[in-house]
């Protein structure tokens, strides 16, 4: 608590300094009013009559208030200490070093705050003046536009009163003209309202786009999309590293297996060397057998050539019997000749039948013609 009291003293000093500056900024009227409110004001000018009870009562009240404030201050310091201990901020409870420099910095910050406040007030006043000027300009232009629109409607009313329907030939009623003019005014108001609404929405969209662009930027030249892309690339590289590690583990296991296989192959190689020695001995016997087989091969080839020449002679003697394609062509031609002969016989039979039918039809036509001539002659005689 001693540390907290020690830290509290500069605050009281700073407050007194602020109050003194504020009091000095006030006029002489504020000083006179404070002197009148002070206890014992006018004692020096009044008669020498001192009422000690008033001063004692005031002293008791002030001491009581001081004790209450000290108790309240101690309780608040305990609560702050507990709060900072829970938050693990014990360095806040330590006594501050160079408190005088901090007070100077605090005073400088207060002056800077006052300057910023005055600047803000000046900017607000300028903005209000500009807004008032824009509002006056808006009202002036609106009045001019309404006057022009009213004059336009007056011209249209004067023009439309004497008009006549081209189809009916009757004059247009005044109520109809007035209805058209009111409809025009209503549509004009709707279009102006829609334009205003569009402008507001466009400005809102521009503001939202600016906010979105600011939110997308983490810093100068840094965007959220780039950060997300880098995060995705990092994840992909981590996955690739894990895959490569798995491949390395598999390759290590394969290397151990291959080493075991190589050791087993070396053991087999010793056995194969012994087998090679035995096979070298057998190779001499095989070469001798090869030379004998080569001699027998020459004899067999001579016999084969003689048989080939005799077969060629027999093939020349046989002629077509040795050519399968010619035999197949001859067989196809003979089959085709037989089928054509059969087709010829069928056609001749059909022609004979058709000739018989034609003769019978001619005979019937002649008979019918003769009967017709006889009947016509009989009718002529009658």
* pLDDT tens per residue, range 344-365: 999 999 999 998 888 888 888 8
Of 150, 178, 151, 176, nearest in space to 165 by CA: 176
Calpha distance 238→182 (Å, rounded): 73
Residue of 23 and 125 predicted with greater confidence: 125
* pLDDT tens per residue, range 269-301: 888 888 888 888 888 888 888 888 888 898 898
pLDDT at 382: 64
pLDDT at 21 over 90: no
The answer for residues whose C-beta is within 8 angstroms of residue 40's C-beta and 6 or more apart is 55
Least confidently predicted of 20-34, 227-241, 248-262: 20-34
By CB atoms closer than 10 A (0-12, 13-18, 19+), residue 59 is exposed
pLDDT at 319: 65
* pLDDT tens per residue, range 169-184: 777 777 888 888 889 8
User: Average pLDDT, stretch 86-93?
Assistant: 76
Give yes or no for a contact between 40 and 55, defined as CB atoms under 8 angstroms apart: yes
Both tokens of 96, joined, read 């501050």
CA pseudo-torsion sign 170, 174, 176, 177: positive
Least confidently predicted of 30-34, 223-227, 243-247: 30-34
pLDDT band at 333 (very low <50, low <70, confident <90, very high): confident
* pLDDT tens per residue, range 253-262: 999 999 999 9
pLDDT at 115: 94
Both tokens of 232, joined, read 């995705």
pLDDT at 34 over 60: no
Q: For the chain, how big is the Rg over CA atoms in Å?
A: 65
pLDDT at 49: 60
The answer for residues whose C-beta is within 8 angstroms of residue 185's C-beta and 6 or more apart is 149, 153
Q: What distances in angstroms separate CA 155 from CA 149, 151, 159, 230, one per listed residue?
A: 10, 6, 6, 69
The answer for residues whose C-beta is within 8 angstroms of residue 31's C-beta and 6 or more apart is 23
Both tokens of 28, joined, read 């002489």
The answer for residues whose C-beta is within 8 angstroms of residue 177's C-beta and 6 or more apart is 156, 157, 160, 161
User: Average pLDDT, stretch 30-53?
Assistant: 50
Q: How big, in percent rounded to 5, are the helix, strand and coil portions of the chain?
A: 90, 0, 10
Residue of 227 and 238 predicted with greater confidence: 238
- Domain residue ranges of the chain, discontinuous segments joined by +: 2-22+52-136, 162-219, 224-319
pLDDT band at 369 (very low <50, low <70, confident <90, very high): confident
The neighbour count for residue 324, using CB atoms within 10 Å, is 9
pLDDT at 321: 61
């Amino acid at each position: 608590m001693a540390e907290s009291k020690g830290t509290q003293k500069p605050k009281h000093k700073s407050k007194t300094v602020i109050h003194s500056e504020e009091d000095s900024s006030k006029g002489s009227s504020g000083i006179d009013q404070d002197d009148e409110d002070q206890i014992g004001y006018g004692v020096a000018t009044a008669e020498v009559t001192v009422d000690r009870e008033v001063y004692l009562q005031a002293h008791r009240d002030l001491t009581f208030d001081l004790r209450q404030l000290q108790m309240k201050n101690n309780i608040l310091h305990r609560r702050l200490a507990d709060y900072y201990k829970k938050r693990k901020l014990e360095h806040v409870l330590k006594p501050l070093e160079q408190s005088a420099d901090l007070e100077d910095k605090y005073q400088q910050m207060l002056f800077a705050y006052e300057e910023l406040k005055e600047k803000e007030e000046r900017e607000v006043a300028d903005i209000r003046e500009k807004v008032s000027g824009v509002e006056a300009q808006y009202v002036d232009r609106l009045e001019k536009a309404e006057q022009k629109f009213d004059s336009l409607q007056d011209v249209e009313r004067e023009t439309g009163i004497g008009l006549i329907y081209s189809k009916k030939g009757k004059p247009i009623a005044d109520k109809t003209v007035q209805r058209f003019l009111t409809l025009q005014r209503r549509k004009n108001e709707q279009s102006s309202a829609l334009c205003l609404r569009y402008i507001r929405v466009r400005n809102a969209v521009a503001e939202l786009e600016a906010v979105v662009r600011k939110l997308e930027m983490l810093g100068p030249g840094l965007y959220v999309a780039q950060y997300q892309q880098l995060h995705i690339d990092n994840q992909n590289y981590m996955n690739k590293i894990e895959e490569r590690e798995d491949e390395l583990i598999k390759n290590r296991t394969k290397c151990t297996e291959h080493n075991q296989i190589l050791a087993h192959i070396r053991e087999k190689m010793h056995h194969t060397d012994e087998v090679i020695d035995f096979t070298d001995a057998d190779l001499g016997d095989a070469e001798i057998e090869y030379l004998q087989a080569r001699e027998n091969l020459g004899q067999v080839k001579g016999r084969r050539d003689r048989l080939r020449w005799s077969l060629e002679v027999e093939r020349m003697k046989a002629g077509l019997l040795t050519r399968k394609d010619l035999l197949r062509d001859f067989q196809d031609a003979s089959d085709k000749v037989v089928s054509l002969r059969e087709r010829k016989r069928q056609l001749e039979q059909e022609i004979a039948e058709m000739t018989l039918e034609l003769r019978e039809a001619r005979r019937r036509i002649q008979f019918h013609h003769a009967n017709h001539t006889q009947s016509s002659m009989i009718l002529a005689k009658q």
